[in-house]
Chain A
Amino acid sequence: MTDVRAPETDPFDPAAEQDDQPGQGPASAAAGAFGLADWLRWAWRQLTSMRIALILLFLLALGSVPGSMLPQEGNDPAGVRQYYTSHPGLAPVLNHLGLFNVFGAPWFAAIYLLLFASLVGCVVPRTFRLAGSARLLPPRAPRHLARLPRSAEYPTALPPAGAVEVAARVLSGDGFRLRRPADPADPAGTGHWVSAEKGYLREAGNLLFHLALLGVLISVALGGLFGYKADRLLVQGDTFADTRSALDEFYPGRFVTAADLGPFTITLNKFDASYIPSGPQRGQPAAFDARISYTEQPGGPTRSGHLEVNRPLSIDGAKVYLIGHGYAPEFRVTDARGQVVYNGATPFISGTSGNFLSEGVVKVPDAQPEQLGFTGVFVPTAVDVGGTLESVFPAADNPVVSLIAYAGNLGMNTGAPQSVYQLDTSGMQRLTASPQVLAPGQSLRLPSGQGTITFTGYVPWVSLAITHDPGQLPALICGIAALGGLLLSFMIRRRRVFVRASAGEHGTTVQVGGLARTDAGGGFEAEFASLAAELRSAHEQAAQRPAAHHRQEGE
């Protein structure tokens, strides 16, 4: 950077960057003159510095770690409750720190909002500078080309103006951007020269990378503001409409309301799960297939489709994923009056014990005279192991339920909404001393004529995740563009070539000088050599051309 004067704004010139960089902090500023505006400017420069952005990015990654190690309210509320029971001392502390809802915690939001501000504050000014730099002309040719990293010199028979003209034609043909002196004949001027620069695509790639990075940020924000996620457990044979009251969980983005849900309905016609029957992988899932029919809007045509794991169904801008399955035993309950007060499938949830040993509760709030409640375990393939039931295979080959009956107050007539998977037995009296095991079709008669419960059968259920992320596709496109831009800016070198022709005692001397602005990968030496050879041969040819004309005329 000694001989070649850098263009005024060059983002790749470290010296140009430094002039407006923060000092070493406010302490380095002139004593006493550091007002509020200076503090704000200093804080803004710190925030938008690469160092702070990297620290924030690291913090973001660090902050996501508990999100993947601890159960989260959003996707695993049962896991959170389980954690509460297994770590009663630690869980409230973790909850207070927001560690069960990391991605919604204020401290996490603080990190990503600061990172967002830092990136925008860094990328936007850079984008402007890169756009300016991509349009810039090459600098004037330096006076002493021999001092450049690469240089060559040879005589030519052409006059200086003609030599530069030929060189300009060659360089232009090679795709260089040229700069010529305003008036080479001006004795006060800088003589006959041409400057050429190539590799502006590097700047374009860099620009593309920065713009795409902004695009990714905006896409992510779009998804967060206008997307939603919802869950629904659907029993085989049932239908649900995509409306708030039919969803088990609903996590809307900031600008999403229940009215933004797509008006589709989905029916689970049949769910099949097959498992490996033998060998070391016995009991591992072989295939799942949920056959569904759906309408995209009320009164619309009914279509049929399949849902498989990782093969979601796209309906009305939303994606419906199959994320789990289980068994819903069917019960019929009659109360003391002989009235059927419950008759239907009740989803049970499989725990950690494997082979779909599932737990659930049956609540019969309108049994009379007393409310009835049952806690149950569904065992798909039951084997009696020393008095306790175990499930030895996930398919329902020998299904039984084991029930404990309660009567009293379910706590459902006032107060907070209850989980359908938990029975509050604090106001209830246990009716059966030991769990009662029922096979399909068998009944349990409750003591003192309080009623009967019959295990009538079972159906499978699936759990569905419905997600809508309007930022997903833009984020993908921007991600690809960012990668492309980055590759361009890595692979393309900016290099400059100068040609100067001056008249001397022994005719015209052509000087060629070159330098690569960023020659990380090398290779400019060979390129310069071949370019210098090309220029030389062009000059020789041009010098001979008048003679060739004469010969042709002579014949």
Chain B
Amino acid sequence: MLRVRRRTVVVAAAGLTGVLLTVVLVAGWAGSGNSGVSHVDGNASAVVYAAGHRPMAPAFTATTLTGSTLSFSSYRGKVVVLNFWGSWCVPCREEASTLSAVAAQYQPSGVSFLGVDVRDTTASAEAFANRFHIGYPSVSDPSSVITLDFTAVVPIAGTPTTLVIDRTGRVAGAVFGMATYPELTAILAKVTGKAA
């Protein structure tokens, strides 16, 4: 009887260890399940949030590169493409022409574009905007506090990140990492189409 009990204990310990190890190992591969999020072009880094799953974008007031004060709430009622960038960031330089082209295409139909210049100096940022003919304003975020505010609602993992805000001020789509023309236009088509 005693041996049986000891064996039970040993088996229980082995089982417990197995469960612990499995949890630790499986956790490495298990992805978190996303609901209400669809991927654009089968690309995991470009997503559209379904209506009802769109987090409210935080309000912020900041200084633009040209020195004027800009309040994000003044964009309410418009679809806004919000691009987090820095002149130091290699993929930001790669996507700059794309963003400039998409802005030229969508601004006439009422879509606004706004840059958030992260960890940068005004001189470098202005030289960047100048080189890539960026026609829309950017606000300075040298300390990443605007990024921090947005991280509370969208999992921003780095620069660049591009968010599409719908007319009600909610985050409707996002491109994590370098944005491409097909990704941006696909998200904008969905967001402007649905909200219209």
Which A residues contact B (CB, under 8 angstroms)? 8-9, 19-20, 44, 48, 113, 116-117, 120-121, 124-125, 128-129, 221, 225, 238-246, 254-255, 257-259, 261, 263, 265, 267, 298, 332, 335, 339-344, 363-368, 412-418, 420
**Set B17, B128, B130, B145: member contacting A120, Cβ < 8 A:** B17
Inter-subunit contact B90/A368 (CB<8 Å)? no
Inter-subunit contact B151/A244 (CB<8 Å)? yes
Task: State which residues 8-30 of B face A: CB under 8 Å.
Answer: 9-10, 12-14, 16-17, 20-21, 24, 27-28
Cα separation A366 to B122 with both chains bound (whole Å): 12
Question: Which of B66-74, B106-114, B156-164, B184-192 interfaces with chain A?
Answer: B156-164
Which B residues contact A (CB, under 8 angstroms)? 2-3, 6, 9-10, 12-14, 16-17, 20-21, 24, 27-28, 84, 87-91, 93-94, 118-119, 121-124, 127-128, 130-131, 142-145, 147-149, 151-152, 155-159, 161
**Set A19, A246, A344: member contacting B124, Cβ < 8 A:** A344
Cα separation A238 to B119 with both chains bound (whole Å): 10
CB-CB nearest in chain B for A240: B143
Inter-subunit contact A343/B122 (CB<8 Å)? yes
Inter-subunit contact B148/A412 (CB<8 Å)? no
Inter-subunit contact A417/B90 (CB<8 Å)? yes
Q: Which residues of B contact A265 (CB under 8 A)?
A: 143, 145, 148
Cα separation A457 to B9 with both chains bound (whole Å): 70
* Beyond known contacts A258-B151, A344-B124: 6 more, CB 8 A cutoff: A8-B2, A120-B13, A124-B9, A244-B156, A414-B94, A417-B91
The A/B interface has a contact count, at CB < 8 Å, of 147
Inter-subunit contact B94/A366 (CB<8 Å)? no
Inter-subunit contact A412/B93 (CB<8 Å)? yes
Task: Decide: A344 near B144, CB < 8 A? Known: A44-B14, A244-B151, A258-B155.
Answer: no
Inter-subunit contact A124/B6 (CB<8 Å)? no
Inter-subunit contact A413/B90 (CB<8 Å)? yes
**Set A113, A225, A340, A420: member contacting B123, Cβ < 8 A:** A340
- Give min CB distance, B77 to chain A, whole Å: 25
Inter-subunit contact B89/A417 (CB<8 Å)? yes
Task: Decide: A245 near B90, CB < 8 A? Known: A44-B10, A259-B151.
Answer: no
**Set A128, A239, A365, A418: member contacting B87, Cβ < 8 A:** A365
Cα separation A245 to B9 with both chains bound (whole Å): 49
**Set A48, A245, A343: member contacting B121, Cβ < 8 A:** A343
Inter-subunit contact A245/B144 (CB<8 Å)? yes
Task: Decide: A238 near B143, CB < 8 A? Known: A124-B9, A243-B148, A413-B94.
Answer: yes
**Set A44, A113, A298: member contacting B21, Cβ < 8 A:** A113
Cα separation A196 to B157 with both chains bound (whole Å): 67
Q: Which residues of B contact A339 (CB under 8 A)?
A: 127, 130
- Give min CB distance, A135 to chain B, whole Å: 14
Q: Which residues of A contact B21 (CB under 8 A)?
A: 113, 116-117
